[in-house]
A = this chain, B = another copy of it.
Amino acid sequence: MEHFLGIDIGGTNVKCGLVSSEGELLEKTKYATTELQKENSTMESLVKVIGWELEKHSNVKKVGIGIPGTLSKDRNSTIDLPNIPDLAHTNVMGTLKAAYPDIIFHMENDANAAALGEFYFSKATMPDDFIFITLGTGVGGACIMDRKIFKGGNGNGLEIGHIIAGNGKTIENNIGKKGILGMALTTLEGYKGKSVLSDMGSLNAKKVIKAAQEEDKLAMEIFHEVGKYLGEAIVSAVRLFDIHTIIIGGGVSKTFHLVEKSMYKKIYDFLSPYYTDDLRIRLASLRNEAGIIGAASLCFIED
């Protein structure tokens, strides 16, 4: 049986996973990104790590790699990687093909890879077109259109976190983790009621999320606000792409039940029945291992 290697490169960890043709994660190894950077270059370390993995799994002939940054449209080289600067502007494909000529490599932006993983391996039935939004430290996006990753003109589309929200700031500045923390701090200042957030000392977005999950009123109010901005992002994306399925992933998406109401309010205020009649917005089904499985799913791309 053919197995695939998925490599999820992140600012904190590089995760390698052996994935079956059914999208099952069979085995996983994790390397601290900073450790890999201690060598000559992250690229050099990556070549080594992939060598070890290929040695362990001799039945692997295809490797998919997810990259946290922008890529050339032909997917041979990286452009910008804010969290791993020494891997920026690197001909990753050229280096890997030279090192392992018998192996087929695929490289994609990590959000695109996660969306493709969802397309191939979601527990739900997936349509041919959907928009994928990740709510985390940043707000990322991807789009599967006609069963393929949508690249955009120069290769790096779907920067949904950077479109403009109804208050004139970007979506990410509003509802990225920093935005959520900022909202919490501002709201807390003038707040007359009781909130667990007042007693938590130095706040962060994680604490605000936890408080909201535990039904703290102020924290829940924050996510009511988050829903409005998420709704605005969806309105603009749906109008431009005419896609009616939206999949929400990322760590902050665990608050989805708290954002839904205000999100839908915004959407119904701005979208006509042509869009809303078959609109579906739901959580991603791949969770923790979406990165690895998404990277491996690049090996499944139909030609």
Question: Could you tell me which A residues sit within 8 Å of B by CB distance?
Answer: 70, 79-80, 128-130, 141, 145, 151-160, 162-170, 232, 235-237, 239-244, 270, 274
Which B residues are in CB contact (< 8 Å) with A244? 153-154
**Pair B154/A232 contact, Cβ less than 8 Å:** no
A275 CB, min distance to chain B CBs, angstroms: 9
Judged by DSSP, the binding face of A is: loop
Instruction: Name, among A128, A235, A239, the residue most crowded by chain B CB atoms within 10 Å (CB to CB).
Output: A239
- Residue from the list B152, B232, B236, B242 in contact with A153, Cβ < 8 A: B242
- Residue from the list B154, B163, B270 in contact with A236, Cβ < 8 A: B163
Complex CA distance for A189 and B240, rounded to whole angstroms: 35
Closest B residue, CB atoms, query A243? B153
Complex CA distance for A70 and B273, rounded to whole angstroms: 13
A235 CB, min distance to chain B CBs, angstroms: 6
Complex CA distance for A170 and B242, rounded to whole angstroms: 16
**Pair A241/B164 contact, Cβ less than 8 Å:** no
Closest B residue, CB atoms, query A154? B242
**Pair A168/B167 contact, Cβ less than 8 Å:** yes
